[in-house]
Structure 1
Amino acid sequence: MSSHNAPSAANLASAEHIRNNPKFKELVAKRNAFAWTLSAIMLIIYFGFILIIAFNKAWLGSLLSAAGVTTIGFPIGVGVILSAIALTGVYVYRANGEFDEMNRQIIEESR
């Protein structure tokens, strides 16, 4: 193993300085809370859909209209998929805005 991969004392000190920064602790707390909230929303949507499949399959299989061929389950299933995409977009939007700005401030303060 070469010493090239070993962290330098300056890097370790910088990392420790960042970990002790109150803004870093705030960033980690906000990011974790937001990620868990979005995860909980997605789990509720997904498991809600699975519970409907388990307990009311006939309703999901009923047609949207008498003359149609599309079942109620199809748009709901598409909604589950689109909600995952939308929630990912919400996370990326906030991460690229607020979280990146907080990260930039932390890095500036660590120099």
Structure 2
Amino acid sequence: MPRSSERGAVAVEFAILAPLLIMLLLGIMEFGRAYNVQVSLSNAAREGVRVMAISNDQTAAKTAAKSAAVSLNPQLADTNFTFSPTSCTSGAQMSVTIKYTLSTLTGIAGPFPMQGVGVMVCGG
């Protein structure tokens, strides 16, 4: 049986540790979400540059990239894409950059600017 002088010690210890544990949990959630968005952006950029290198059609490349990143909320817009150079000539290197701003679930930090880049040789 605990002594009366130690009564409430567990509640005090919990009150001290609970915020730290909650912050750790929220940090893990935010990091996991950011990692998922980064993987989605990289995959979308790879799909976009692949279509651009084959067909030399920016509209089709944007559509393919948007289809590869359906998990993003909000979805990708046409303004998120940058093609360098603007058209694909055989043997040249094409780069597609997708810029995205990730808002956080908790609102503690952020928003975070993120980007995915895909590079491929045209006509190859």
Q: TM-score, normalised by structure 1?
A: 0.41
RCO higher in 1 or 2 (8 Å CA, sep ≥ 6)? Answer: 1
Q: TM-score, normalised by structure 2?
A: 0.37
